[in-house]
Amino acid sequence: MTKRIFALLLVVLMVGSLFTACGKKESGEAGGTEEGGNVEVKEITFPLPEKIEFTAWRTAATSDPKLGIVTYNDIESVQAWEEKSNVHVEWQIPPSGQEQENFNLMITSGEYPDMIWDVGTYYVGGLDKAISDGVLVPLNKYMDNYLTDYNKLISENDVVYKDCKTDEGNFAAIYFINCPDQGPWLGMTVRQDWLNDLGLDVPVTYDDWHDMLVAFKEQKGATAPLWINANAGDPFSIFSAGYGVGVVGSSGKGFINQDGTVKYSPIEEGYKEYITMLHDWYAEGLIDPDFYTRQDWLCPDTLFGQDLTGAWFDIYTLLGLRGIMVGKPEMDLVAVPAPVKNAGDKVHLAQYNFTRGTGTVGISTMAKDQDTLAAYLNLGSQQEWAWLAYYGTEGDTYTVVDGKPVYTDKILNNPDGLSASDAMTKFCFRSAGMYIWDRELQTADDKALAAINEIWPSNVDTDHIWMMPNITMTSDEANRYATIMGDVETYVSEMTTKFILGSESLDGWDAYVNGVKGMGIDEAISLQQAALDRFMAR
């Protein structure tokens, strides 16, 4: 009997403890996301009943003195945020050109502001190291309470969710999330007026391009029919994409993610085909003869302004401006899809924008009232507050038309003569969370809109993009990788130029590949693959 009574009492105690635990959860404890643990939740609404001040390190809003912006608090939409939230931010802005040095000094001092913007860009070793070094607070415990809108924003896409997380499972900072996704803002362009004069159609295949460039040279007198840069291509491997390879100087540094497998383009057969084609074209005088000296990011206006080139890569907003810039209003540029080997082919490399941008803001370990700061930073993921940041004040800098914000003439036709871009900088700012990039389309002409929305994406296989995601290496991996790639990239760049110029025969291709392998490229590929595998496992 005694044992039965004891057993009953034990059951009652266990049940009671369960109800007690449930009662605690209901009274205010909220479970954090995954590794974050619990945090006692308090109600935080804006505007706050009493003004609070936070400090922030962030790079300059603008370096143009004519806008009169010394600090972010000089921007009208920042002032509106303060009024609406009752939160004042004291900005610490490093001198232009000294951002990294200033950031390092701040970290070394051990004295951090409440929030650190651009931390993902400037923290040496990455965001996980910033947490392990005691600089940043992991935000995991806030994702289900004070950062609910941000959490919802990044949870709408599995890849974006992984992209906002570190290999160690930390949500280390709040990112800028493209809303909506952005199309390619850079691509190939040709002189439409020349095509019209020559009776040519827009080129589709590399053979079409060859014939077009020959016509530009022979009938238009172009001495640099095609302009490419010193990396034998462009910053996003657009021109080489038809061969399924990237170039060294591109955003991927020649590495591609072919459906989960990392490859290094400069030792692939497709790269040999591409370089062989450029070698032939160079010999025919179809490429800028000085391409290997061109470190410019965009085609110099001295070339197209003097009718020396008829095809290059360009930014969508400049298509309708190039002729005006060089005093040739008759110049008519048209965006064209990336060339392919065979009509109907799809490319897997392009100027591609990840939904998760590179901009970040983290909460430092020295931040006061971290709960309120997290809730404050969450505002940027709410449409109302994002509109306030990116469009300003309704009735002043924008109005709502068919449910969408539209800039007023204070931005589009500024009475003080500011360009629309400068007016956006002067009156609006970029908040973390929802990054409303498409506001810039309000200043774009039809030609620019067609390029970014229709022409450049037209032959891109968006379901199988071979761009490497935002992978992260450990410190040891990164050091070893840098050691290998320093020699590899120098050698590949030199040999690529020699192959194209003909000073090195393409008969020596196998020896070249063996040389790259001898420098450790297989190990570098393995390091990239390990980082990619970790990313996919997040």
- Residue pLDDT, tens place only, 214-239: 999 999 999 999 999 998 999 999 99
pLDDT at 2: 34
Residue 208 φ/ψ, nearest 5 degrees: -60, -45
What the block records as the tokens of 351 is: 């100027």
What the block records as the tokens of 128 is: 């996980």
pLDDT at 61: 74
Contacts of 37 (CB under 8 A, 6+ apart): 140, 141
Contact 75, 429 (CB under 8 A): yes
Looking at the chain, the whole-number percentage of residues with pLDDT higher than 90 is: 85
Is the pLDDT confidence value at 10 over 50?
no
Q: Which residue stretches of 221-364 are H helix?
A: 269-283, 301-304, 322-325
pLDDT at 249: 85
Question: CA 448 to CA 209: how far, in whole Å?
Answer: 22
Is the pLDDT confidence value at 459 over 80?
yes
Question: CA 325 to CA 307: how far, in whole Å?
Answer: 13
Coil, strand, or helix at residue 117?
Answer: strand
- Average pLDDT in the 429-453 region? 95
Is the pLDDT confidence value at 37 over 80?
no
pLDDT at 27: 27
Question: CA 272 to CA 282: how far, in whole Å?
Answer: 15
63 confidence band (pLDDT: 50, 70, 90): low
Helices (H) and strands (E) in the chain, counts: 20, 15
Is the pLDDT confidence value at 367 over 50?
yes
Kind and range of the H or E run holding 356: strand 356-363
Query: Measuring CA to CA, how many Å separate 149 from each of 171, 377, 434?
Result: 14, 10, 10
Contact 22, 136 (CB under 8 A): no
118-147: burial string, b at 16+ Cβ within 10 Å, e else: bbbebbeebbbbbbeeebbbbbbbbbbbbb
Whether the bond between 47 and the residue before it is cis, its omega within 30 degrees of 0, is: yes
- Average pLDDT in the 104-133 region? 96
What the block records as the tokens of 436 is: 């409303």
pLDDT top residue among 60 and 408: 408
Q: Among 15-29, 59-73, 187-201, 421-435, which is the least confidently predicted range?
A: 15-29
What the block records as the tokens of 2 is: 């005694």
Q: Which residue stretches of 71-205 are H helix?
A: 76-85, 99-109, 119-122, 127-132, 148-155, 158-163, 192-198
Kind and range of the H or E run holding 394: none
Question: CA 413 to CA 396: how far, in whole Å?
Answer: 13
pLDDT at 39: 64
Q: What 8-state DSSP symbol labels residue 358?
A: E
Contact 531, 472 (CB under 8 A): yes
Question: CA 348 to CA 466: how far, in whole Å?
Answer: 5
38 confidence band (pLDDT: 50, 70, 90): low
Domains of the chain with CATH codes: 52-180+357-392+428-435 (3.40.190.10), 186-351 (3.40.190.10)
Give helix 509-518 / helix 521-536 axis angle, nearest 10°. Answer: 70
pLDDT at 1: 37
pLDDT at 525: 98
Is the pLDDT confidence value at 315 over 70?
yes
Contact 276, 506 (CB under 8 A): yes
Is the pLDDT confidence value at 266 over 60?
yes
Contact 128, 501 (CB under 8 A): no
Kind and range of the H or E run holding 521: helix 521-536
Is the pLDDT confidence value at 474 over 60?
yes
Contact 239, 346 (CB under 8 A): no
- Average pLDDT in the 157-163 region? 94
Between vectors from CA 61 to CA 65 and to CA 176, what angle results, nearest 5°?
Answer: 160
- Average pLDDT in the 344-373 region? 95
pLDDT at 516: 98
pLDDT top residue among 66 and 96: 96
pLDDT at 26: 30
- Average pLDDT in the 442-461 region? 95
